Amino acid sequence: MEEIWNGFVKAIQLIVTLDPEVMEITGRSLAIAAASCLLASLVCIPLGSLIHFNRFPGKRGLVNVIQTLYSVPTVVIGLLIFLLFSRAGPLGDMGLLFTPTVMVIGQAVLIAPILVGLTITALSGVDNAIPETASALGADGIQAAVLTMREARFGMLTAIVMGFGRAISEVGLALMVGGNIAGFTRVLTTAIALESSKGDIELSIALGIILIAVALIINIALNRLQQRK
């Protein structure tokens, strides 16, 4: 118990003194998660909107599959990305394995179902009378769709924040495709896993506190967004 308490005190010291290693790992985690979130948003929000605004056979089934993939294990996506970018893989020539770039790509793939699915959910939550009224006032199909997306903006922001939360807190994929290389691909989650196994409990707790703080900030942001809705 004393060891945990001492670790907690030292962890606070590391955070308060802005320990360079802690700051560097935190910065990298935030940057990779933010980049993956941006990449996924650019692809998934238009994709989710396309699925929502179009009628096609199997749409319901597709949405079910997307929602099922919300909880896909990170190691499964890690394995997929590893196989794609490993030397023998189809994208091996790019030499991206064990780089922050492949971590961004992997996390974007991981959170894609959440972003696509929640975009569809957010758009479905908009009253049908909104696009109808827009059409009745002379909007063409695209103008009515843009208005609907505008009405769903808080729901879509929620999707992005949820995606960011999933990206920054995952460990399996970051470990498998990033390799946890100090000063290069080491992020909060992989660092906690490594330092705990090495017995450096202070650093682990400090990084854990930061991760929880990030989760807390995400939660507050989500609540605020839902209130504005």
Partner 1 sequence: MALLETRNVGQTYDGKAVLQDISLSIGGGEVFALIGPTGAGKTTLLRLLDLLETPSAGAILFDGTDVTRSNKLRLEARRRMSFVQQKPVSFSMNVFDNVACGLRWRRQKSSAVRSKVETALELVGMADYRNRDARTLSGGETQRVAIARALVTQPEVLFLDEPTANLDPVSAGKVEETLAHVIQEHRTTVVMATHDMTQGQRLAGRIGVLIGGALQQTGSPTEIFCAPQSKEVAEFVGVENILSGIIAAKDDTLATVEVNGRAIQAISDFATGDTVYVLIRPEDIIFTKARDSSSARNVFEGEIIRMNTVGPLVRIEVDCGFPLLGIVTKRAAEELGFVFGKKIFASFKATALHTIRRWA
Binding of residue 151 to partner 1 (CB under 8 A): yes
Q: How many residues bind partner 1 (CB under 8 A)?
A: 16
Whichever of 38 and 146 has its CB closer to partner 1, that residue is 146
Cα 222–chain centre separation = 14
Binders in 113-142 for partner 1, by CB under 8 A: 127, 129-130, 132-140
Rg (CA), the chain: 20
Whichever of 128 and 197 has its CB closer to partner 1, that residue is 128
Q: Are 103 and 173 in contact (CB under 8 A)?
A: yes
Whichever of 3 and 140 has its CB closer to partner 1, that residue is 140
Whichever of 22 and 159 has its CB closer to partner 1, that residue is 159
Report how far residue 6's alpha carbon sits from residue 2's, in angstroms, rounded to the nearest whole number: 6
Binders in 164-193 for partner 1, by CB under 8 A: none
Report how far residue 221's alpha carbon sits from residue 162's, in angstroms, rounded to the nearest whole number: 10
Sign of the four-CA dihedral 164, 166, 168, 172? negative
Q: Which of 17, 27, 150, 215 binds partner 1 (CB under 8 A)?
A: 150
Q: CB of 163: closest distance to partner 1 in angstroms?
A: 23
Query: Tokens for 211?
Result: 């991760």
Binding of residue 53 to partner 1 (CB under 8 A): no
- Under 8 Å CB-to-CB from 86, ≥6 apart: which residues? 92, 97
Four-point Cα dihedral 182, 184, 186, 187, nearest 10: 150
> Stretches 56-64, 87-95, 146-154, 159-167: which one binds partner 1 (CB under 8 A)?
146-154
Binding of residue 1 to partner 1 (CB under 8 A): no
Residues at the site binding partner 1, with contacts judged by CB under 8 A: 127, 129-130, 132-140, 143, 147, 150-151
